[in-house]
Amino acid sequence: MANNRGKAWEQKFKEDFKRSFPGGTIDRIYDTTNGFKTISNISDFIGYNYPNIFYLECKSHLGNTFPFQNLTQYDKLKEKVGIKGVRVGVILWFIEHDRVLYIPISSITKMKEDGKKSINVKMADEKLYNIIEIPSTKKRVFLDSDYSILANLQEGE
């Protein structure tokens, strides 16, 4: 169920990103989940809104805790951190909590350095790490989300 919902949510994310950045653009990178194990992409989406380019990995998750082992693109995403104008992170929808979070890869690196193995939905409230809640309104199944908050990201986020 979460997998099918996750793919539909990726399309919803794309629509919301376009609405949030009317002067920007976003592209879904070809999905290689069809058995080509030797091919892997840096992220699900590459978006642009002047002056920033976004490498965004979208994940949906049932439950309270998203394990880092499910973020197979981490090493490739980490390579983009520190490049001027590049924003790299994970858009994570906690399905059962109706919350969408943006977690910069630099924050995930810090969590890993601190011995964390996962992201708990409560971490956004604790403010120990740089986790940004995306303003969202619950609809029937999905959320309408406003990603324009990402325009305010600082270098390294």
Domain-embedded: residue 29: yes
In what side-by-side order are the strands of the sheet with 86-94? 25-28, 45-49, 52-61, 86-94, 99-104, 132-133
Domain-embedded: residue 27: yes
Say which CATH number the domain at 118 has: 3.40.1350.10
Domain-embedded: residue 119: yes
Domain-embedded: residue 154: no
Residue 157 has a pLDDT of 76
Domain-embedded: residue 122: yes
Query: Which domain does 67 fall in, by range?
Result: 2-145
Number of domains present in the structure of the chain: 1
Domain-embedded: residue 156: no
Please give the model's pTM, rounded to 2 decimal places. 0.90
**Residue ranges of E strands in 74-149:** 86-94, 99-104, 118-120, 132-133, 136-138, 143-145
Residue 36 has a pLDDT of 54
Domain-embedded: residue 11: yes
Show pLDDT as tens, one digit a residue, over the chain (157 residues): 445 677 888 999 999 999 999 999 999 997 665 555 556 788 999 999 999 999 999 999 999 999 999 999 999 999 999 999 999 999 999 999 999 999 999 999 999 999 999 999 999 899 889 999 999 999 888 899 999 999 988 877 7
Domain-embedded: residue 152: no
